[in-house]
Structure 1
Amino acid sequence: MTEKLYYTDMYGREFDASVISAENGSIVLDRTLFYPTSGGQPNDTGILKATNGDIHIVDVRQEDGTIMHIADGRVDLASGEKVHGIIDWEKRYIHMRYHTAVHIIDGVVNNDYKNGLLTGGQIYDDHARVDFSFDIIDKDLITEIISRAQDIVNSGLKVFQREITRSEALKIPGLSRTEPGRQLIEKLPVVRIIEIENFDFQADGGTHVANTKEVGQIEMLKIENKGKGHKRLSFRLN
Structure 2
Amino acid sequence: MTEKLYYTDMYGTEFDAKVVSVDGNKFILDRTLFYPTSGGQPNDTGTVNQDGTTYNVIDVYKEGDDIIHVLDPNSSLTPGAHVHGKIDWDRRYIHMRYHTAVHIIDGVVNNNYSDEGLITGGQIYEDHARVDFDFKEIDREKISKIIDEANDIVNKGLKVFQRDISRDEALNIPGLARTEPGRELIKKLDHVRIIEIENFDFQADGGTHVKNTREVGKIIMGKIENKGKGHKRLNFSLE
**Cα deviation digits, residues 187-227 of structure 1 (max 9, x gap):** 10000000000000000000000000000010011000001
CA distance in 2, matches of 1:196, 1:111: 13
What is the aligned-residue RMSD (CA, Å)? Answer: 0.7
**Cα deviation digits, residues 91-141 of structure 1 (max 9, x gap):** 000000000000000000000002110000000000000000001111100
Where does residue 158 of structure 1 map in the other structure? Answer: 159
CA distance in 2, matches of 1:38, 1:56: 20
**Number of residue-to-residue matches in the alignment:** 238
Where does residue 143 of structure 1 map in the other structure? Answer: 144
Where does residue 11 of structure 1 map in the other structure? Answer: 11
Residue type at the aligned position of 2:104: I
How much does 1:52 deviate? Answer: 5.3
Q: For 1:143, what is the secondary structure of its paired residue?
A: helix
Residue type at the aligned position of 1:95: H
1:204 is aligned to 2:205: yes
Where does residue 132 of structure 2 map in the other structure? Answer: 131
- 1:33-48 matches, cutoff 5 A: 33-48=33-48
CA distance in 1, matches of 2:76, 2:224: 48
Q: For 2:84, what is the secondary structure of its paired residue?
A: strand
State the 4+ residue runs in structure 1 displaced beyond 4 angstroms: none
Residue type at the aligned position of 1:67: I
How much does 1:75 deviate? Answer: 2.9
Residue type at the aligned position of 1:56: N
CA distance in 1, matches of 2:94, 2:134: 26
Instruction: Say whether the 8 Å CA contact 1:105–1:149 is kept in structure 2.
Output: yes
* Unmatched segments (≥5 aa) in structure 2: none
Where does residue 87 of structure 2 map in the other structure? Answer: 87
CA distance in 1, matches of 2:169, 2:76: 46
Instruction: Say whether the 8 Å CA contact 2:25–2:77 is kept in structure 1.
Output: no
Give the structure-1-normalised TM-score.
0.99
- 1:1-238 matches, cutoff 5 A: 1-51=1-51, 53-114=53-114, 115-238=116-239
CA distance in 2, matches of 1:70, 1:206: 20
CA distance in 2, matches of 1:12, 1:154: 25
**Cα deviation digits, residues 41-80 of structure 1 (max 9, x gap):** 0000000011151110000011112211000122342221
CA distance in 1, matches of 2:105, 2:182: 18
Give the structure-2-normalised TM-score.
0.98
Instruction: Say whether the 8 Å CA contact 2:160–2:197 is kept in structure 1.
Output: yes
CA distance in 2, matches of 1:144, 1:57: 41
* Stretch moving more, 51-60 or 181-190: 51-60
* Unmatched segments (≥5 aa) in structure 1: none
Q: For 2:69, what is the secondary structure of its paired residue?
A: strand
Q: For 1:119, what is the secondary structure of its paired residue?
A: strand
Q: For 2:228, what is the secondary structure of its paired residue?
A: coil
